[in-house]
């Protein structure tokens, strides 16, 4: 560090109180569960593109929103966990023997749509976790330097 140079304190990039962060995690988890339920029940209805888009884009946005509100990767993990729990629930045989996510309907098979929903949702949930709670551009420190002299004095 040179004389006259000042270092500004790092900016706070989200988070806040523990109550606010906890609420961000809870809302993120709820969004993940909601996206999982909507997408899982759209798979057998025949709206294939919508269910895959909800899984991919919805998980991406919910994870990003939760990570920014909490300022950590835990926030991005909450929607992914909620969506994954709904996914596991949809793949388990119920008391009547039916599955929500993968079963043949008529002469068409929705297994490919279910796989698209699962893989799209996994990618959409993984990206915000890898991205973390960082804003798009995050300068850690802002350095403000003293104005440079145009003609330095001659030295000995």
Report yes or no: 50 and 40 within 8 Å, Cβ to Cβ.
no
- Domain annotation covers residue 140: no
Q: Report the chain (156 residues): mean pLDDT per 10 consecutive residues.
A: 54 63 90 90 78 90 88 86 88 69 54 80 88 57 58 67
The total number of structural domains in the chain stands at 1
Domain that includes residue 113, residue range: 14-134
70-81 in b/e form (b: 16+ CB < 10 A) is: bbbbbbbbbbbb
Q: How far apart are CA 44 and CA 27, in angstroms?
A: 27
- What pLDDT score was predicted for residue 107? 40
- Domain annotation covers residue 148: no
- Domain annotation covers residue 3: no
- Domain annotation covers residue 156: no
- Domain annotation covers residue 80: yes
- What pLDDT score was predicted for residue 70? 84
- What pLDDT score was predicted for residue 85? 92
The DSSP 8-state label assigned to residue 144 in this structure reads: E
Cα distances (angstroms) measured from residue 64 to each of 39, 58, 61, 125, 141 = 19, 10, 5, 9, 24
Whose CA is closest to 6, among 141, 142, 139, 144? 144
DSSP-derived secondary structure for 80-130? HHHHHHHHHHHHS--TTS--SSS-EETTEETHHHHHHHHHHHHHHHHHHHH
Q: How far apart are CA 16 and CA 34, in angstroms?
A: 26
- Domain annotation covers residue 18: yes
Give burial (CB, 10 Å; 0-12/13-18/19+) of 148: exposed
- Domain annotation covers residue 142: no
- Domain annotation covers residue 27: yes
- What pLDDT score was predicted for residue 18? 81
């Amino acid at each position: 560090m040179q004389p006259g140079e000042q270092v500004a304190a790092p900016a706070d990039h989200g988070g806040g109180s523990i109550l606010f962060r906890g609420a961000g995690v809870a809302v993120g988890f709820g969004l993940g569960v909601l996206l999982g339920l909507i997408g899982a029940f759209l798979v057998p209805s025949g709206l294939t593109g919508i269910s895959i888009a909800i899984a991919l884009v919805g998980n991406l946005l919910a994870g990003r929103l939760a990570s920014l509100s909490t300022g950590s990767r835990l926030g991005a993990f909450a929607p992914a966990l909620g969506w994954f729990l709904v996914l596991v629930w949809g793949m388990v045989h119920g008391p009547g023997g039916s599955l929500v996510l993968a079963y043949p309907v008529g002469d068409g098979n929705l297994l490919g749509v279910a796989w698209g929903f699962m893989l799209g949702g996994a990618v959409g949930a993984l990206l915000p976790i890898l991205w973390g709670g960082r804003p798009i551009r995050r300068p850690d420190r802002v350095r403000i330097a003293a104005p440079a002299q145009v003609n330095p004095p001659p030295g000995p």
